């Protein structure tokens, strides 16, 4: 997962450097990416939370 994380960050920085993204777009995408990554890490480290969430989602 670390390699994929670093790769995504490099792509975002490159897109900013070569002006494919504005500073604001890069900040927004990086923020969203960090939220998604944080959630994935939490699910990996605490799978019971995901199981509980899935059970509640069905109800």
Q: Where are the domains of the chain?
A: 2-58
Angle, helices 23-45/47-58, rounded to nearest 10 degrees: 100
Decide if pLDDT at 53 tops 90. Answer: no
Please work out, in degrees rounded to the nearest 5, the angle formed at the alpha carbon of residue 21 by the alpha carbons of 37 and 40: 5
Instruction: Render pLDDT for 20-44 as a digit per residue (tens, 0 to 9).
Output: 999 999 999 999 999 999 988 888 8
pTM score, whole prediction: 0.74
Q: In this predicted structure, what is the pLDDT of residue 2?
A: 67
Query: Which segments of 1-59 are extended strands (E)?
Result: none
């Amino acid at each position: 997962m670390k390699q994929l994380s670093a790769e995504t960050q490099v792509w975002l920085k490159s897109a900013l450097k070569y002006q494919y993204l504005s500073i604001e777009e890069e900040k927004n995408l990086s923020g969203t990416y960090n939220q998604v990554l944080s959630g994935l890490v939490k699910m990996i480290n605490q799978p019971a939370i995901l199981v509980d969430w899935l059970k509640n989602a069905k109800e």
